[in-house]
Amino acid sequence: MSQPVTDFGQNETPYERYVQADVLTHLQRPLTDDPGEMAFLVTTQVMELWFTVLVHEWRTAVDALRADRLPAALAALGRSAQELRALNASWEPLARLTPRQFNAYRSALGEGSGFQSAMYRHVEFLLGEKSPSMLVPHQGTPRAHAELEQALRAPSLYDEALAYLARHGAVIPDEVLLRERTGRYEPHPAVEAAWRRIYAAGGDGGRGTGAESGPLRLGEALTEVAELVWRWRSDHLAATRRAMGGKAGTGGSSGVEWLEKRARRWVFPELWTARGRV
């Protein structure tokens, strides 16, 4: 039986060259002596990597929908659902912190907050949660600011999904399809009606093509993503409530109160309201 190659001379291993593991494992710079801070740093850095993957998957889905390549879009959305589950599991190392444990290194954050994450903001913009004011914190980081500004002005994942439906027979009004892209998506009764018809007809808009038609599969893929985003927000709320109760959050937020408001907000809203009318 052959043995794995172990001698690469003075060169780095092919694994290191590809994965950049040495970079990843030396990014942590704890600012306190508390042993729990390392877990906090690694966990939040892992979350940033998952945000990066989600942005990649949803931009892939956006491009595929725009080109009417539904299988490629569904594949990207399916991968993102698995990645969201992994992202949500990242809360586990932090979800059982007592206030004393969290307070042991909380001061190291200073005015830092996950709210300031550029990649998380990119995730939110792709979900249709947009506001030009969210660019302000990133003025000092030109690359991140430029990427976010582009995402702010571009159609969101849901915008492209609705445009796909319109091209394939759904009645989506121009005021939705041509809306101002830099603002938060607001639900529209005509969009709810379109999803209601898709679900009531088994996904084919009444044309008798069967329950596995494209619009229904797209709706279910988006619903899966929306549910997992809601779980992310709910797990964030629970972990924060357990660690710090009703204290003000770092970075100037109202902490739990702000997270509660976020947890009540569903993305792709008409996919949820339409279900009660089928």
pLDDT in tens, 133-191: 999 999 999 999 999 999 999 999 999 999 999 999 999 999 999 999 999 999 999 99
**Structural domain contains residue 9:** no
**Structural domain contains residue 127:** yes
Judged against a pLDDT cut of 90, whether residue 247 lies above it is answered with: no
Q: Helix 36-66 to helix 70-89 angle, to the nearest 10 degrees?
A: 170
Higher per-residue pLDDT: 11 or 162? 162
Radius of gyration of the chain from Cα atoms?
Answer: 22
- Is 106 labelled as part of a ligand binding site? yes
**Structural domain contains residue 118:** yes
**132's tokens:** 């030009």
pLDDT given at position 251: 57
Q: Which ranges of 35-179 would DSSP assign to H, the alpha helix?
A: 36-66, 70-89, 99-106, 118-126, 142-153, 157-167, 174-177
**Structural domain contains residue 1:** no
Averaged pLDDT of the chain: 90
Mean pLDDT of 120-128: 96
Does the pTM of the predicted model rise above 0.75?
yes
How many angstroms separate the CA atoms of 277 and 200, rounded? 9
- Is 250 labelled as part of a ligand binding site? yes
Structural domain that includes position 218: 30-277
**Structural domain contains residue 19:** no
Judged against a pLDDT cut of 70, whether residue 207 lies above it is answered with: no
By the 8 A CB rule, do 103 and 248 touch?
no
Structural domain total, the chain = 1
**Structural domain contains residue 254:** yes
**Structural domain contains residue 11:** no
What confidence tier does 205 reach under pLDDT thresholds 50, 70, 90? very low
| 71 exposure class (CB count in 10 Å sphere: 0-12, 13-18, 19+) | exposed
What confidence tier does 241 reach under pLDDT thresholds 50, 70, 90? confident
Count H helices and E strands in the chain, helices first.
Answer: 13, 0
The C-alpha angle with vertex 175 and arms to 206 and 193, in degrees rounded to 5, equals: 30
By the 8 A CB rule, do 20 and 13 touch?
no
pLDDT given at position 254: 59
- Range from 5-19, 76-90, 211-225 that averages highest in pLDDT: 76-90
Instruction: Give the CB-side neighbour count of residue 208, counting CA atoms within 13 A.
Output: 0
Higher per-residue pLDDT: 254 or 4? 4
**Structural domain contains residue 4:** no
CATH of the domain at 43: 1.20.58.480
Higher per-residue pLDDT: 57 or 7? 57
**53's tokens:** 């993957």
pLDDT given at position 6: 83
